[in-house]
Amino acid sequence: MRGLFRVLSRVSSVLNSVSAATLTVMMFLTVADILMRAGGHPILGTYEVVSILLAVVIGFSIPKVSLDHGHVQMEFLTEVLSGRARAALMTFTRILCIALFLLIGYNLFSVANELRLSGEVSPTIQLPFYPVAYGVGVCCFIECFVFAFDIRNIWKRPNE
């Protein structure tokens, strides 16, 4: 089980690194476009590229943020619950999240397949949309594994 967790952690870290690099590219592209626009020569398709890259940034960072428990959590309810009730509530929310991310991932794969078959691309520079939809869909399925490991850790006994 520890080996699977290490693989999941490594994959999440790689995806997060891709997300960080993509965010850096977005930043440089935006700054370059602003400077070029001031000189009267904007970069063609900047809005499209930044929009597509934003999906990569968000989708690819989700598993690592969840693995690190970096999300916002309202603790005022869980603080008043007993240990077992808190664990049950946390398990229930993780199960709901697994169902949600399975649904999102499945739908992203369906949409990506439709985009691939139809050949839909961005209007100005003709970038295909389907690779990003497939990539974010994969990240959603990886997120399900993160929540499953989280459920295991919620109920794991201290002596294990």
Any idea where the domains of the chain sit in the sequence? Answer: 2-155
pLDDT level of residue 159 (50, 70, 90 thresholds):
very low
Lowest mean pLDDT among 4-13, 72-81, 131-140, 144-153: 72-81
Pick 29 or 73 by higher pLDDT: 29
Query: Is the per-residue pLDDT at 76 higher than 80?
Result: no
Separation CA 112–CA 97 (nearest Å)? 22
Distances (CA, A) of 64 to 1, 105, 128, 134, 143: 18, 17, 26, 18, 9
Pick 87 or 76 by higher pLDDT: 87
Nearest CA to 90 out of 2, 17, 150, 138 is that of 150
Angle subtended by helix axes 2-38 and 46-67, to nearest 10: 150
pLDDT level of residue 157 (50, 70, 90 thresholds):
low
pTM: 0.86
Query: pLDDT tens across 1-59, in order?
Result: 788 889 999 999 999 999 999 999 999 999 999 999 999 999 999 999 999 999 999 99
Q: What is 79-129 written as a DSSP string?
A: GGS-HHHHHHHHHHHHHHHHHHHHHHHHHHHHHHHHHHHHT-B-TTT--BS
Separation CA 102–CA 96 (nearest Å)? 10
Query: pLDDT tens across 77-128, in order?
Result: 777 878 888 889 889 999 999 999 999 999 999 999 999 999 999 999 999 9
- Please classify residue 134 by burial: count the beta carbons closer than 10 Å to its beta carbon, then call 0-12 exposed, 13-18 middle and 19+ buried: middle
What pLDDT score does 158 carry? 42
